[in-house]
Amino acid sequence: MRSSYTGLLGGLVFSIVLVYLLIVVNFQSWTDPFIIITALPAALAGIVLFLFLTRTTLSVPALMGAIMCMGVATANSILVISFAKIRLDEHGNAVRAAVEAGTTRFRPVIMTALAMIIAWSRWRLGSATREQNAPLGRAVIADCFAQRWRPCCLSPASSH
């Protein structure tokens, strides 16, 4: 069991580093990807808090859900930051670009979160046959509740 945790945590760290390097190449900058990656600790904190509140043990399915949520959080942050950069290039006002990016991208981020909550809610509830996968659903739903406001509010503001 310890090797499963070690492997998943190693995979999580490796995926974060790999995603960071890929975003560096895409944005041709070291700072924008760093801002995007700052979405990940908030997502992990939300997942751990929700698992604690629901008295769910940290298991392999929960860690798999955390890895999946890292991808969604990163994708949302990338969309918001790239939109803010486009707006900044258009009118040159960093505050206005951040506000426009946050307000414009808020609805798609919330729609993604609601779709994930609806899709994973049957996993979160668990039953006699699905109890082993309930931590996976709980981790995904926790991320949706705890993390979705962050890309629209903090990412554009911290990027300028």
**Alpha carbons 97 and 137: distance in angstroms, whole number:** 35
Residues lower than pLDDT 50 in the chain: 128-129, 156-157, 159
**Alpha carbons 142 and 13: distance in angstroms, whole number:** 20
Which residue's entry shows tokens 């739903």? 141
**Alpha carbons 159 and 16: distance in angstroms, whole number:** 19
pLDDT tens digit string along 10-49? 887 888 888 889 889 988 888 888 888 887 787 788 788 8
pLDDT of residue 50: 82
Longest dimension (CA), the chain: 57
pLDDT of residue 53: 85
Which residue's entry shows tokens 């940290």? 58
pLDDT of residue 128: 43
**Alpha carbons 61 and 133: distance in angstroms, whole number:** 6
pLDDT of residue 126: 53
pLDDT of residue 150: 56
